[in-house]
Amino acid sequence: MEYSSFTRTYDFIDANLLYMRSDNGGTTTLEVVKVTKDKAQILFRRPEAYAHEAIPQDLVTQMSEPGTIYLQAPLEEGHKWQTTDGSREIIGIDVAIKTPTGNYKTIEVIEKRNDGSTRTEYYAKDVGLVYAVDELTGESGYLVTQSLSKLAFKGWTESIPYQYVTGPDAFETATEKAWMTTNTSMALIFTEMFQGKYTVGEVLLPKRSSIQSITTNGQMSGQGKVITVDFTGDIASIATDDLGKEKLDAMITSIDQYYNADEVAVTVNGKPMVVKNIVTLTKEEPYYPIDQAREM
């Protein structure tokens, strides 16, 4: 038998959509689940998801490929429904499960797959999946259990790569620890970081300016992942700073590295960024030029 654990963060709750990241020690997977009074169904899944990403609901709707229904009403023993690879059935109610995060009364669901394997899952109220068993009998069989080892209800820390300026065309790098909660705005996190409110203390962003939003197109790194960063109009004042270009470069590079993006589009009040003597972006060429040799 093989034992593994997983941790989970609930990054965003947007109306009836739940954005959650689960880390099994090998990779971190983002799942967007639609929760209604009748069922909880996965709409979108993406592996290698290491950032706190706000994927707009309309994009989720466009990209969604409705998958497994994790739970379906009525929540009664014996209730069964079909999946694309077999069937799922509720086989237990108020089943006691002990995990490193605590003891739970759970709903026990078994999924029987067409290849003969089974997966038994245990769902706790207000928590979600807390325990799972994957099993296949026979010569090539296996038995793998997974247990929830960490669940952050009140928040968690996340590492943020941070590049700052030490002189003309001179940069240093650091890693900041940011406190996250469900629905935390990464635009606010980066605004505060760039205004010197974290441990490094270097001010890159003019005090009157801020990042209004950071959005993603929902793609994976290496497959056309674009992050769009929108600043307020006061960012134009960075043009009067002798190190203005370096500071803007450092901010965009930091954001690029955190999201592991393929491109970063930068706007000011929704329009392609134009900062005198530093950068001129257009609708045709909206991406900020990042020096790949200087990436962290």
pLDDT in tens, 36-78: 999 999 998 888 999 999 888 888 888 777 789 999 999 999 9
Query: At 278, which amino acid appears?
Result: I
pLDDT digits (tens, 9 = 90+) for 206-248: 999 999 999 999 889 999 999 999 999 999 999 999 999 999 9
Report the alpha-carbon angle 177-46-225, nearest 5: 75
For residue 247, the Cα-to-chain-centroid distance in whole angstroms is 26
Rounded Cα distance, 162 and 135, in Å: 43
102 DSSP β-pair partners: 99
Residue 26: its pLDDT value, please?
Answer: 87
Cα→Cα distances 172→25, 37, 129, 234, Å: 30, 51, 41, 25
Range 182-189 contact pairs with CB under 8 angstroms and sequence separation of 24 or more:
182/10, 182/11, 182/12, 182/13, 183/11, 183/12, 183/13, 184/11, 184/52, 185/54, 186/51, 186/52, 186/53, 186/54, 186/214, 186/258, 187/211, 187/212, 187/213, 187/214, 187/230, 189/160
pLDDT at 89 over 90: yes
Cα of first residue to Cα of last residue in the chain, in angstroms, is 40
* pTM of the shown model: 0.88
- E strand or H helix at 31: strand 28-35
Q: Residue 295: pLDDT above 70?
A: no
- Beta-sheet pairing, 80-83 with 69-72: unpaired
Beta bridge partners of 42: 33
